[in-house]
Structure 1
Amino acid sequence: MRRACRGSDAAFAALVQRHQGTVRTFLRRATGSGWAEADDLAQETFLVAWRALRSLRDPAGFRTWLMGVAWKRSQDRTRSALRGAARDMAWMEGQESARGVSAEDRISLDAAMADLPPDVRACVALCLAQDWSNAEAAQALGLPLGTVKSHVARGRARLLKALGGSDDA
């Protein structure tokens, strides 16, 4: 612990090795999330710990301090997710009222968009959702103009089919 506090990478790596299982398990149980989320939070925890290690007053209390850091990181992530969800909901409500599209239809559209290949989805997002010209989208995406046009037409047709509409326009 003393060597790690003085900046020894090897000593800190030994501390990580010793405590990572406990931190990951705690975070998984405390957050109710899967291992991937717990692993991300554990990495953040050890990064914060490494940066703040010299501020630790009682090296004997490292484990307790480390779990406190882990808990604070998980709380920060939860608050961030809640703020993001609130922003998304406010945005969706604004979109719904502006375009007369229900939240259910918006979710269906998002799911249908997710099923499009990435390049087709990008063309549809720019040309249909953002009202860009095909030429602007071609330039931004680095695709030939004809490819953008066909991606937009193909994407529009697939979206209409997935949403139960007709392609009469």
Structure 2
Amino acid sequence: MVQRHQSAVRAFLRRVLGGSRDEADDVAQDAFLAAWSSLRSLRNPEGVRAWLCGIAWRKAQDRIRSRRRTATRDALWLETLDVPAGVHPRDRVALAAAMAELSPEARACVALCLADGWSHGEAAITLGLPPGTVKSHIARGRARLLSALGGPDDA
């Protein structure tokens, strides 16, 4: 079933989810797992592709809702940040946009270490990442945030 229909399902999901191949593959995998566990509900074997795309569509909707919740949660978090005195509202918006451009892992590392003052080791344990990866995410995140504020990005 997977070999026969994965191309159609993955292509459909790439279009629905905005072209991200990795995200489409993740959602397709979830859809095929869900299809396998509910195979008994398939009424018409000739309509398996439509049935699979329906499952994939529901999984994609879940992913889109999750993205929205994450974006809302991130925006609320950014609003609660204590921005140092003298930071212009325009800079605050630039920081929020720069944070939104970071990968979820980099955003988490920056949030924990730069915003909340965690050590690299604490963040590594919490996020399940190697300490070197945490340091890399923080360095790139710091550079992106400084660049968004018009500062040097080599700090």
Q: Structures share a fold, TM > 0.5?
A: yes
How far the C-alpha of 1:51 sits from its partner, in A, is 1.2
Which letter maps to 2:93? A
Which residue number corresponds to residue 99 of structure 1?
A: 83
Which residue number corresponds to residue 49 of structure 2?
A: 63
C-alpha distance in structure 2 between counterparts of 1:25 and 1:65, whole Å: 15
Higher relative contact order (CA 8 A, sep 6+): 2
Contact 1:92 1:103 in 2 (8 A): no
What do the CA deviations read for 1:126-158 (whole angstroms, capped 9, x no partner)? 4x63346xxxx487469xxxxxxxx9xxx7xx8
How far the C-alpha of 1:22 sits from its partner, in A, is 0.9
How far the C-alpha of 1:71 sits from its partner, in A, is 0.9
In structure 2, runs of 5+ residues without a counterpart are 126-134
Find 1:88's aligned residue among 70, 74, 79.
74
1:31–1:107 Cα change, 3 Å: closer
Contact 1:28 1:34 in 2 (8 A): yes
How far the C-alpha of 1:53 sits from its partner, in A, is 1.0
Which residue number corresponds to residue 44 of structure 1?
A: 30
C-alpha distance in structure 1 between counterparts of 2:57 and 2:2, whole Å: 16
Contact 1:93 1:103 in 2 (8 A): no
1:125–1:34 Cα change, 3 Å: closer
Residue 12 of structure 2 corresponds to residue 26 of structure 1: yes
C-alpha distance in structure 1 between counterparts of 2:57 and 2:16, whole Å: 8
Q: TM-score, normalised on structure 1?
A: 0.55
Q: Which has the larger radius of gyration?
A: 1
After the TM superposition, which parts of structure 1 deviate over 3 Å for at least 4 consecutive aligned residues?
105-108, 122-126, 137-142, 161-165
How far the C-alpha of 1:34 sits from its partner, in A, is 2.6
Q: TM-score, normalised on structure 2?
A: 0.60
Kindly report the root-mean-square deviation, in angstroms, between the aligned alpha carbons of the 2 structures: 3.7
C-alpha distance in structure 1 between counterparts of 2:49 and 2:58, whole Å: 14
Contact 2:75 2:96 in 1 (8 A): no
